[in-house]
Structure 1
Amino acid sequence: MHQKGHIGASLLVYAPFGFVLSALTSVEMAFIGAAAVGSMAMVPDLDMKVPLVKHRGITHTVWFALVVGAVFGLTGALLGIQESILRGVLFGLLAFGFGTLTIISHLLADALTPMGVEPFAPLRDDNYTLDLFKAANPIANYAMLGLGGIVVAAAVVAGAALPV
């Protein structure tokens, strides 16, 4: 997938987190989270700009997703703990989840293409692909972006409507 498709995939995966954030904090916080996740959607493809790093290599693994999740989690905990320890733990866990899942969403979107991904490399070299469409398919990329935007907006609005 290309950028639009990856952003859409990250928003789809983020939608449950947006729902929770909207219900527990505010619509603004939920949309800030969506913007953060969307801005991170292309991080695994930074491997194309780093010499000697293979495209769809280490940055396209669950290990990389866990590292990104840990960075997000620590940031969320530090922001939340300013209010209370409980909120620090909650924000830390939510941030870890959507940081990790942002990268996983990238892998899932790439698994829709013929090239696929090897998410457990270097421990396992199994390649996962559904081979549904080429990464450059504009219809698939725009459809994923549109679907992600609609689903995350609906989740945030639904979360805000809850009487918490």
Structure 2
Amino acid sequence: MGTVTLSPSVYWKGHVGTAILWYTPLYLWIATESTTLALFGLLVAVACAPLPDIDTALPVPHRGPTHTVWFLAGSIVVGSLVGGLLAPTFDVSVLIGVLAVGGAVGISLTSHVFLDALTPMGIRPFEPVAATSVSLRLVRSKNPMVNWALLIAGCVVLVGGSVSGF
């Protein structure tokens, strides 16, 4: 049985940085209820950031099913259910648990698909219902300066918001 690995062309730095950047406001709000849950949500956001690119290890087209609104919606539902079930563990209401985990999943995956829509390859977010392609052609996914800038920006905003007590 072979090992499944993600393609080295997966530019995770930009995806992780953007997920952190987009999740930070929710992180700061959830931290007022439970710092532990906020950190857990952050880990979920970071873990989910490269998830749509799992398609590079599957027999489906890259930026195919895992880059659609259907994948996002299903993943958010699963994340929300997990968050609701874990809420008592963090001693918070079910709503806070759903927002922390479901929100982390939704924000992270949406930021990934959004970034991919900025590239020349683009995405087809409504496949198989509609073949509409979305590509703003603003930046190449393999641009190391953009990927590092996004990772650094996400970390700086998270640390800055946390330290300032924003």
* TM-score computed with the length of structure 1 as normaliser: 0.86
CA contact (8 A) 2:116 2:122 kept: yes
**Aligned match of 2:116:** 110
Q: Tell me which of the two structures has the higher relative contact order, counting C-alpha pairs closer than 8 angstroms and 6 or more residues apart.
A: 1
Q: CA deviation at 1:21?
A: 1.4
Paired residue for 2:34, among 6, 22, 25?
Answer: 25
Tell me if 1:76 matches 2:109.
no
Q: Deviations over 1:7-43 (max 9, x none)?
A: 01111221121111112212x4323321221111111
How many matched pairs?
Answer: 157
Paired residue for 2:45, among 37, 41, 44?
Answer: 37
Identity of aligned residues (%): 34
Distance in 1, matches of 2:163 and 2:150, equals: 20
Which portions of structure 1, spanning 4 or more consecutive aligned residues, are displaced by more than 6 angstroms?
none
**Aligned match of 2:7:** none
Q: Deviations over 1:122-149 (max 9, x none)?
A: 2222221221221111001001111111
CA contact (8 A) 1:65 1:101 kept: no
Secondary structure of the residue aligned to 1:24 is coil
Q: What amino acid does structure 1 have at the position aligned with 2:84? A: A
Query: Could you say what the CA RMSD is over the residues aligned between the two structures, in angstroms?
Result: 1.9
CA contact (8 A) 1:18 1:155 kept: no
**Aligned match of 1:10:** 19
Distance in 2, matches of 1:94 and 1:133, equals: 31
> Where in structure 2 are there 5+ consecutive unaligned residues?
1-9
Paired residue for 2:127, among 121, 125, 129?
Answer: 121
**Aligned match of 2:139:** 133
Q: CA deviation at 1:72?
A: 1.2
